[in-house]
Structure 1
């Protein structure tokens, strides 16, 4: 896909694909809520009803966590152009990792806040990295804004056995995928490529048998 400005139809298609991705990721927790409510309506045993309430609470929390994550990763949360406290994306990533004991998170961020584009890139990188760790491993997230020129540098590394990474996502990250080839899975990567190109920045990745490394350099606006 060219890094040039998207046409109106392409922009609409990209938005549609991002919505499809959101719906796909929300289907499981929302479906669990629906199933839990059906079970609760039929269950009479007090102990089982209590268990149903626990499952409903868990599904509701998972749904809320994912919506908050995607609102900032894909949407316009936080307004336009300002810096976002580092604590916000950190909390969102930790919430998605809750219950995933096989993934160990390491966090190294310079400063208390990052530009919005950097935060969106960091969140999307983290999502790609989490999905790559199908058998667990370590997730290292680092970012800083250089004091000399305001350039944001982001590195996310997923290391573990059997790294799962679709080369089509890598092509979309580097702007090499044709627009007609995009899917709901690769649309977030294409969105990041467009955002980076608009700032004069760049994205890249490296894949080995042991690790996936995602990097971004985003000039200050």
Structure 2
């Protein structure tokens, strides 16, 4: 069984893996800029640096909300913050259309953490493009969340699905499945649960996350 320390280490490995490319591009761009004298090439280097800096910033914002404590917010996080993070991550992929159906102005931090991770998993499944539908609503003391990826070819490792459902015995916890394990444990601690359904052209990820006591109203 994976300890909390092991899970934290695997999440850090995931973060480092995802940040390596844009941060490496920043380093390479600075080296090129230092040696380049041609004005047009220097302009191109600066554009690449700006692009890499934006990608790095967008990823860090995602990790802050999806994995971290989301310091700076209260018990609730504005939905607009979550929307901006996901839209930014998908911004460079012109083949993916994102539709939001979240009527609430804010959601509890645990629900936002689950929503972001499910959205990221669904987004990763759209390797050939498609549509990502994200919805959330409060109902009878719970936050119900759904992320649906629809496309010509869905790429989804079902070990992630087993991890989402908390099937620890069947799935080795790796940096690939660590995020799914994390939100599965979070949902279990709160008395909720996660589920998924997969077909040839659609992946549906769902969650029911109870609202913390004192916030139901």
Normalised TM-score (structure 1) = 0.92
1:180 CA drift (Å): 7.8
**Pick from 181, 196, 206: which aligns with 1:215?**
206
What residue is the counterpart of 1:4 in the other structure?
A: none
1:178 partnered with 2:169: yes
In the alignment, what sits opposite 1:141?
134
Equivalent position to 1:95, from 85, 88, 91: 88
Shift of 1:214: 0.2
1:49 corresponds to:
42
Summarize the alignment of residues 166-205 of structure 1 with structure 2, pairs less than 5 Å apart: 166-178=157-169, 181-205=172-196
Q: Does 1:13 align with 2:6?
A: yes
Aligned to 1:155: 146
Secondary structure at 2:19 match in 1: helix
Consecutive aligned runs of 4 or more in structure 1 exceeding 3 Å deviation: 78-81
Q: Retained in 2: the 8 A contact 1:10–1:179?
A: no
Match of 1:123?
116
Q: Matches of 1:116 and 1:216 in 2, distance apart?
A: 14
Q: Is the 8 A contact 2:149 2:202 kept in 1?
A: yes
| Contact kept in structure 1, 2:163 and 2:171, CA below 8 Å | no
TM-score by length of 2: 0.94
Where structure 2 has 5 or more consecutive residues not aligned to the other structure, the ranges are: 213-217
Find the aligned partners of 2:40 and 2:72 in 1 and give their Cα distance: 46
Which residues of structure 1 form unaligned runs of 5+? 2-8
- How large is the Cα RMSD of the aligned pairs? 1.5
Match of 1:86 in 2: 79
Are residues 189 and 81 of structure 1, via their aligned partners in 2, closer, same or farther at CA, if it must alter by over 3 Å?
farther
Shift of 1:78: 3.6
SS in structure 2 at match of 1:175: coil
What does 1:67-82 align with in structure 2 at a 5 Å threshold? 67-78=60-71, 82=75
Does the residue aligned with 1:89 lie in a helix, a strand or coil?
Answer: helix
8 Å contact kept, 1:125–1:214: yes
1:79 to partner: Cα distance: 6.2
